[in-house]
Structure 1
Amino acid sequence: MCTDSLHVCTVVQVPYLPSSKDQTVNVMKLLEGRSGRLADLGSGDGRLVFAASAAGFQSTGFEINSILVAYARSKACWTGVPSSQAVFVKKDFWKTDLSSYNNVTAFLAPGVMEVLGEKLLKELSDDALVIACRFPFPNWPQQSFAGFGLDQTFAYDISTVRSYLRSEAKTAVQ
């Protein structure tokens, strides 16, 4: 668990809810044309990690539920997915430096998105793409989106988000 009360609450507020097939397809649409390393925050049973690894990403699923981590690892073994393409770690992503990833996916509760946004802005490089499933980041300009309703996904270019937030801060000061 995280040491400060805000992060303890975030862990409690995010129940396991698997991505639907449509949501997974929508994430992959938003990742088209990209490559590199992908972190799936709260990876659950690993379905987004498996889809991303099949598309050529070096994918890491971060999950604190040991049963879901064991399931995803077993499925990777059964299906022959190499660990060079898909890794599942029982690790709290709040305590993990994500700076080595240029693609991040998250299907978390709306109450944690603002705090997650602060973490990602501190750690990710300008060329990073962040994809949020179902719940968008408040105050972040979307690069694009795919799907509708419960299966909607939102893509954010970190460089664009930083520029937008800087201009918003300047406007607020004036």
Structure 2
Amino acid sequence: MVSAAAEEGLIATGVELNYGLVLYSRLDSLRKGFWKRTNFIRRDLFKTNLSNYDVIVLFGVPSMMDLVKQKLLVEMRPDAMFVACRFPLPNVKPSAQLGSGIDTVWVYSRSDIQKSLSKA
């Protein structure tokens, strides 16, 4: 996703805990010529401040999605978007849903996430 964003001319940052994947991503970005528009950092997502990002994309697992939802409520800017790949945020109606099966992505605004609180 970071490389795809860079290919479109955007500046993108990838946060990954697995150092091997960080190195692979850095080398791949260099090989593709996107290294000036990409940044890959080894860090725990839950220790990373998300408030500086316009779009946040996550390849997560179901067990972390409730925690991610809480983090987004605290750190996500009002004008930012969140894209969940493969697994949606629980009990939140997305602004959009694209694809199908394992290629499904859900797009959320901050207000989508906040609305889920009033239903709880």
TM-score grouping bracket, smaller chain normalisation: over 0.9
Normalising by the residue count of structure 2, what TM-score does the alignment of the two structures yield? 0.92
List runs of 5+ in structure 2 lacking aligned partners: none
SS of residue in 2 equivalent to 1:130: strand
Q: How does 1:132-151 map to 2 (within 5 A)?
A: 132-151=84-103
Deviations 1:57-99 (A, max 9, x none): 221000111111111111111221133x111111112111110
| 1:75-127 Cα distance to aligned partner (Å, 9 max, x none) | 111221133x1111111121111100020011111111011110011001111
2:112 matches 1:155: no
RMSD between superposed Cα atoms in Å: 1.3
| Maintained 8 Å contact 2:56/2:82 | yes
**Counterpart contact for 2:69–2:113, Cα < 8 Å:** no
Q: 3-state SS of the aligned residue for 2:106? A: strand
In the alignment, the residues of structure 1 paired with residue 105 and residue 83 of structure 2 have an alpha-carbon distance, to the nearest angstrom, of: 7
Query: Counterparts of 2:109 and 2:74 in 1: how far apart (Å)?
Result: 14
AA matched with 1:115? L
Question: Does 2:78 match 1:122?
Answer: no
Cα separation, 2, equivalents of 1:134 and 1:92: 20
Higher relative contact order, structure no. (Cα contacts within 8 Å, ≥ 6 residues apart): 1
SS of the residue 1:87 aligns to: strand
| Alpha carbons 1:98, 1:123 under 8 Å: kept | yes
* Aligned counterpart, 2:119: 168
Q: Distance in 2 between matches of 1:148 and 1:142?
A: 15
Structure (1/2) with the larger strand percentage: 2
Following the alignment from structure 2 to structure 1, what is the Cα–Cα distance between the partners of residues 64 and 118? 24
Distance (whole Å) between structure 2 residues aligned to residue 56 and residue 124 of structure 1 = 23
Q: Which runs of no fewer than 5 residues in structure 1 stay unpaired?
A: 1-47, 170-174
Greater radius of gyration (CA): 1
Distance 1:142 1:160 in 2: 6
Once superposed, which parts of structure 1, at least 4 consecutive aligned residues long, lie more than 6 Å away? none
In structure 2, C-alpha distance between the alignment counterparts of 1:72 and 1:167, rounded to whole Å? 39
TM-score by length of 1: 0.65
Match of 1:100 in 2: 52
Name the structure 2 match of 1:80: 33
